[in-house]
Amino acid sequence: MKKTFLIVFIVLTVILAVSFLNLYSFLAPNKPESDASFLVVDAWVSDSSLTQAVELFKEGKYERILVPGTKMERSIFFPGIRGMDEAASVVLIYKGIPPNKIIPLYFEPVKKDRTFQSALTVKYWLKQHTHGNVSVNLFTESTHAQRSWLLYKKAFKDDYKVGIIASVPDDYDPEKWWKTSNGVRSVIDETIAYLYAFLFFHPDM
């Protein structure tokens, strides 16, 4: 009996350890749609992530970059710009993307479920400007990717296909995320947020 209990305990411990170490890989998936026409870039991502988005756009066959974003605080760096969508677009232009390839998509601030509102904004634009079945790839911040992908699929339903591409963080090593406070905070916070979205977020659409 004791031997059986010990074996079960060891097996469960190994399973939990493996699951723990693979949390980052789950939260930051890279599963793009090969035929995506548009690259969706969250406006709030870091400057490093925007640089990665520029490289993705140049390497791919995307028609446009869609940049959904909400209101931002007044900034001395972006005078006259009201939304993060426009601010991120300015940065993308500075980093080499032609202005005519960028579509800023502003949406009004919401108290919660900002990512879902962002997805609805993208969906509305697609309905207004495309015809037939269209695929997009969503590019967002590292561990935020799995939750964003889930919410975009909830918003898009069967209307459009959405792939996901996670940025690579520059403030910690993704393969050793548990060794830094930034890595632990990012993974644990997004694990909790994902579980909430998966278990309790059921939009009435």
% of the chain surpassing 90 pLDDT? 73
**For residue 74, is it within any domain?**
yes
Q: 42 is written with which tokens? A: 């969250």
**For residue 10, is it within any domain?**
no
pLDDT at 5: 53
Q: Give yes or no for residue 23 having a pLDDT over 70.
A: yes
**For residue 79, is it within any domain?**
yes
Distances (CA, A) of 190 to 18, 88, 118: 18, 23, 18
Tell me which residue range forms the domain holding 144. 31-200
pLDDT at 202: 84
pLDDT at 52: 98
pLDDT at 16: 45
pLDDT at 20: 58
Over residues 115-120, mean pLDDT: 96
pLDDT confidence of 22, banded at 50, 70, 90?
Answer: confident
Of 203, 201, 204, 173, which Cα lies nearest the Cα of 187? 173
pLDDT confidence of 13, banded at 50, 70, 90?
Answer: very low
Of 3, 8, 2, 78, which Cα lies nearest the Cα of 43? 78
**For residue 101, is it within any domain?**
yes
Over residues 59-88, mean pLDDT: 84
**For residue 1, is it within any domain?**
no
pLDDT confidence of 78, banded at 50, 70, 90?
Answer: low
Over residues 128-154, mean pLDDT: 95
Q: Give yes or no for residue 175 having a pLDDT over 60.
A: yes
Alpha helical stretches, state H, the chain: 2-21, 23-27, 47-59, 84-94, 114-129, 145-156, 181-200
Total domains, the chain: 1
Across all residues in the chain, what is the average pLDDT?
88
**For residue 25, is it within any domain?**
no
**For residue 158, is it within any domain?**
yes
pTM (2 decimals)? Answer: 0.88
84: how many CB neighbours lie within 10 A of its CB?
22
Q: Provide the CATH number for the domain around residue 42.
A: 3.40.50.620
